[in-house]
Structure 1
Amino acid sequence: MTSSDFKLGITKTFPCNYLPQKEERLLIAVDERLHNSKSYAWLMTQGFRRSGDQAYRPHCEHCNACQSLRVIASEFSPSKSQRRNLKRNQQLTLKTSNTLKSEYYPLFEEYINTCHQDGTMYPATYSQFESFLSSSLTQQLFIEIWQQTEDGNSLLVSVAVTDVLSNALSAVYTFYSPSLRNKGIGVYSILMQIKECQKLHKEYLYLGYQIDDCKKMNYKNRYFPFEKFINGHWYRTDNVKNKNE
């Protein structure tokens, strides 16, 4: 398949959400033949992502800062700092679900309203929670992280919304308790998604768009080895110089 075989739409330009003084526009997979799990998996290999049931890819005239990145999970080995993160959070418990539960919403609301007050999703709403995170395009996996409280109960502290593809998982969105931010819960959630890839014998974990000049979007290139989608091709990067960091 090639993108020229399908009907694609292009949005109007609008202010970029990530880089000041920049404008962005998106390529949208509007062709109904692309609205299924097999085609969605193919779209991911072409640098697309999804929001709800809409698959898109940046299509900016004068900028290519957004580069799709996927971790080669089958070869991943944690760095020294990532091993410290795993040890620091070893008391946490992992569970998985195939359903977007209403019980997730209070954690989602707390995360958005605390950590992303400058974002387009603030303030959080339940309808936004459902439309953004659920999808009929493919099977979903919700990776839950639980913390035991002093009274012996378990508290949900993170949910990684993950799409299941034929040979990969795709990290759609992760929300977590802001109180655990200083313990690297975001990093831990990614490490758990990689672990799930390995458990399910998936080759890749798609992490979305790496944007080097955006503080909120430049953390994805720390999980080696990885591949970036640049000008229609995937290019591999191994951690040679900083393998012990």
Structure 2
Amino acid sequence: MTQHSRDTPQFYLTAPSPCPYLPGRHERKVFTHLVGDKAGDLNDLLTHGGFRRSQSIAYRPACDNCRACVSVRVIANEFRPSRNFRKVLARNSDIVGELRAAAPTSEQYSVFRAYLDERHRHGGMADMTVLDYAMMVEDTHVQTRLIEYRTRGPDSGITGRGERLIAVALTDILSDGLSMVYSFFEPTEHDRSLGTYMILDHISRARRMGLPYVYLGYWIEGSKKMDYKGRFLPQQRLAPSGWLRIDAGGGAAEPQD
């Protein structure tokens, strides 16, 4: 019987289940556990290969006869906001974003619960309790942070902290970028486009941190839930031949390192 090292990842394949993004299709995932001292290095390596993290699990779609899920990462230093993106930034100029340790709070869960009830009441996360939320935030063996977005108060310039919490992003800090694991926001703030704003903020943060990429997860052409990620250009999309650069107009360039 072969004895595997604790640091050697073992990969597993899930059973087929209905695809949450494309009607009439089924999904399967390959996954492994992110544990131990080398979890951060493994998470880096797997993210570069198209995996995503959920708690202490790294997973990637492995569907039969379907390759619709495409990993995307924005090229932070070359990104220039379009006119529409600049409008989103202007609408949210009263927001303060604070990078914090990955520690859950009841205030965060209140926004999270409102977000699920409004946007994903029939989704797989709809029944998540406050303990489930705490596990989502805390169950990590990699460098993870929370970014809290608050409206700017009269003392914000002094304390660096805003007032009312309206959005949160759970983000991994990788060797070459920021990976947006999960984000949510106050659903009553319809006009702010907070999902878009958080991506724009992450691009700015990555640039300031000297990190070349912002990993957005999977772009799925034709999926209303995922197609928006294709708007943040230039970006790279993972193909069998490697990361392909996509510029305005959708043209693909040669594989990138």
Q: Please report the TM-score for the alignment, with normalisation by the length of structure 2.
A: 0.85
Distance in 2 separating the partners of 1:175 and 1:39: 26
For residues 174 and 35 of structure 2, the distance between their equivalents in structure 1, rounded to whole angstroms, comes to: 18
CA RMSD of superposed structures (Å): 2.3
> Is contact 1:69–1:229 with CA below 8 Å preserved after alignment?
yes
- Counterpart for residue 207 of structure 1: 216
Equivalent residue runs for 1:90-101 within 5 Å: 90-101=93-104
User: 1:32 deviation in Å?
Assistant: 5.9
Which runs of no fewer than 5 residues in structure 2 stay unpaired? 1-7, 157-161, 251-257
Corresponding residue of 2:174: 165
| Cα distance, 1:32–1:123 mapped onto 2, change above 3 Å | closer
**Per-residue deviation at 1:96?**
1.3
User: Aligned to 1:110, what secondary structure does the other structure show?
Assistant: helix
The number of residue pairs the alignment matches comes to 237
Letter in 1 for 2:232: Y
Unaligned runs of 5+ in 1: none
Q: Distance in 2 between matches of 1:149 and 1:229?
A: 42
Give the aligned partner of residue 73 of structure 2.
70
User: Matches of 1:188 and 1:48 in 2, distance apart?
Assistant: 24
Evaluate the alpha carbon distance shift between residue 210 and residue 134 of structure 1 in structure 2; reply closer, same or farther with a 3 A threshold: farther
Which structure has more relative contact order (CA 8 Å, sep 6+)? It is: 1
Q: Distance in 2 between matches of 1:70 and 1:100?
A: 26
TM-score (norm 1): 0.89
- Worse-matched range after superposition: 160-169 or 25-34: 25-34
Change (3 A) 1:22 1:126: same
Aligned residue for 2:122, secondary structure, equals coil
Query: CA shift at 1:37, angstroms?
Result: 0.3
Residue in structure 1 matched with residue 186 of structure 2 by the alignment: 177
Q: Distance in 1 between matches of 2:99 and 2:67?
A: 35
Identical counterparts, % of pairs: 34
Are the equivalent residues in 2 in contact too, given 1:227–1:234 (CA < 8 A)? yes
Query: Is 1:118 aligned to residue 122 of structure 2?
Result: yes
The residue that corresponds to 1:84 in the other structure is 87
Q: Deviations over 1:90-139 (max 9, x none)?
A: 11112110222313111111111121112111133112212233342311
Secondary structure of the equivalent of 1:215?
coil
